[in-house]
Every structure is written in structure tokens, then in C-alpha cells.
């Protein structure tokens, strides 16, 4: 009876530690957030990230702007007249990525560095 109870406890602890290890492995940030508008602003929540696969969530808050990101292997944009939330899954390679509002690129632009 003691062996069955001890075995059950050890099995439960092993499962819990496996789940904790898996959850801990997923804490690495794999998301980025960009915002354009409502005024003449365009931002990305990070300036530098490591190479890898990311989900980029764009909040387009103005129908006079777009959010356009380009770099090694990436060329994604929202529409100028559209608003709302857009999500892209992209593989970011080492290099420099530029994001701009195309109609206002001289004043609305930024850089994301991937190491």
C-alpha cells in the first residue's frame, strides 16, 4: 500500500515538473506588437529581438495610415484605408527590418534589429 501511494506521488510530481518545464520553455517572447495612429505615430514594442519565428500583432488605429514592415524575407503591410488588428506570423532572420507608414514615410518610420 505504501509503495502504491509513493509511486502515485512520484508519478504526479514527475508530470507536474514536466508541465512546468514545458511552460517555462514557452515564456520566451515570440510576439511583437506594432501600432500605427491614431495621430502621426508608428511604434514597435521592441527595438531588438533574436532571430526566430514571431507573431506580429498590428493595431492600425487610423484610416490614413498603414503599417508596412520589410526586411530579410519579410514584406507585410496593412491597408491604408483599413483599421483594426492584424496578425502575421513571420520568420525574422538576422538583419535590419524597417517599418513605415507608406503615405507618411518621411515622418513615420522605425527600425527593428534582429540579432
Name the band, by pLDDT with cuts 50, 70 and 90, for residue 3: low
In Å, what is the CA distance from 82 to each residue of 67, 77, 97? 11, 11, 23
> Does residue 114 register a pLDDT over 50?
yes
Name the band, by pLDDT with cuts 50, 70 and 90, for residue 4: low
The Cα 43–Cα 34 span in angstroms is: 5
pTM: 0.75
Which of 33, 98, 41 shows the shortest CA–CA distance to 65? 41
pLDDT in tens, 31-51: 999 999 999 999 999 999 999
Amino acid at each position: 500500500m505504501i509503495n502504491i501511494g509513493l509511486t502515485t506521488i512520484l508519478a504526479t510530481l514527475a508530470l507536474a515538473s514536466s508541465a512546468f518545464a514545458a511552460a517555462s520553455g514557452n515564456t520566451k517572447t515570440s510576439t511583437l506588437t506594432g501600432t500605427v495612429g491614431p495621430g502621426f505615430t508608428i511604434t514597435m514594442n521592441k527595438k531588438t529581438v533574436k532571430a526566430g519565428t514571431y507573431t506580429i500583432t498590428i493595431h492600425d488605429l487610423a484610416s490614413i495610415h498603414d503599417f508596412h514592415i520589410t526586411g530579410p524575407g519579410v514584406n507585410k503591410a496593412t491597408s491604408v484605408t483599413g483599421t483594426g488588428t492584424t496578425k502575421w506570423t513571420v520568420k525574422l532572420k538576422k538583419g535590419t527590418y524597417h517599418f513605415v507608414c507608406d503615405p507618411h514615410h518621411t515622418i513615420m518610420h522605425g527600425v527593428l534589429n534582429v540579432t
